[in-house]
Amino acid sequence: MKVAVVGITGLVGSTMLRILEERNFPVSELIPVASERSVGQTIEFKGKTYTILSVDEALAKKPAVALFSAGGSVSLELAPRFAAIGCYVVDNSSAWRMHAEKKLIVPEVNGHVLTKDDLIIANPNCSTIQMVMILQPLHTHYKIKRVVVSTYQSVTGTGQKAVKELLDERVGGNGFGVYPHQIDLNVIPHIDSFLDNGYTKEEMKMVNETCKIMGDYNIKVTATTVRVPVIGGHSESVNIEFEKDFDENVVREMLQNTSGIVVVDNPKANAYPMPIDAAGKDEVFVGRIRRDYSQPNTLNCWIVSDNLRKGAATNAVQIAKYLHNQGWIS
């Protein structure tokens, strides 16, 4: 099938390309799209050379599906244009996530809500994706009441300039002004802009997206999102209060038997998830599973995932694969 990748020169766009190849997605023709300054450049895919096209050139080729990672304003403008020609759009920005008529999808959690008419599909926030992967099976069995999450997010979540800034500061440079403070040897409790309620947009994304994906607005979520000098993945400390009591061993077994999740939980052997081990992998890793003894029916855990892969590109490709499996694109 004809597959467009919009924003192909960015970190997520280039990762989408790699995952399409790794997973042998049935691409008959790749349609690479980027900003005007990149048009005419070339990229390699499955041993072939493709020229980066403009939006109009891409539309003329009538792709079956378009994977977007080009920012919210671009998605708001261009996604309807692609959808108007019958192309399915899987958008990685925040543009459509909370739109009442657009589905917000993690295939393992709520892929079943998609219909043939859903031409614009939102890919959730990276931190939300890895958390709901763990929350969903637990919610099914124990009914979640409240979630308290603190994130430790990689600089890759900000993009290529942020990675360069960290590495520049590490060798004594002044960075490039991507963050409001030095990121190397530091921790910044500030991701995205602050809102009137004192939370950041990133924190409220986790609050609102979790309820939408899981289809339960009774779940109470509070989040603190933090940028750390890490390359390779996001980590989360998550405290989950249930309506029902649980057995920790049953929780471990349940999660281990859930597709896309790997349990790494042997503290005596210093075995627990770390971003350095999750980098380059598609699974969500969970460990430090233990009861919270400060209140009833409450669990603590530690969740790690490669934010560029399952947190963005892999999830988008999985959505496209779901569409293909349903026979809606070919």
3-state secondary structure of 279: coil
Q: What is the mean pLDDT of residues 89-102?
A: 97
CA distance 63 to 40: 19
What is the radius of gyration, based on Cα positions, of the chain?
A: 20
pLDDT at 232: 87
Domain with CATH 3.40.50.720 in the chain: 2-124+312-325
Alpha-carbon distances, residue 292 vs 220, 239, 246, 307 (angstroms) = 17, 8, 11, 27
Residue type, 289: I
Could you tell me which residues come within 8 angstroms of residue 314 by beta carbon, excluding any fewer than 6 positions away? 19, 282
Query: Which DSSP state fits 32?
Result: E
Half-sphere exposure of 321 (CA within 13 A, CB side): 16
Among 142, 137, 147, smallest CA distance to 254 is for 137
CATH topology classification for 2-124+312-325: Rossmann fold (3.40.50)
Catalytic residue numbers?
A: 126, 234
pLDDT at 246: 98
Q: What is the mean pLDDT of residues 255-273?
A: 97
Residue 157 pLDDT > 90: yes
CA distance 63 to 2: 5
The full DSSP string for 237-267 is EEEEEESS---HHHHHHHHHTSTTEEE--BG
- Which CATH number is correct for 127-307, 3.40.50.2300, 3.40.30.10, 3.30.360.10, 3.40.50.300? 3.30.360.10
Does the pTM surpass 0.95? The reply is yes
Domain with CATH 3.30.360.10 in the chain: 127-307
Determine the longest span between alpha carbons in the chain, in angstroms: 60
pLDDT at 2: 98
- The tokens describing 157, both together, are 């979540």
CA distance 176 to 235: 25
pLDDT interval class at 38 (50, 70, 90): very high
pLDDT at 20: 98
Q: What is the mean pLDDT of residues 200-208?
A: 98
Residue 176 pLDDT > 90: no
pLDDT tens profile 307-320: 999 999 999 999 99
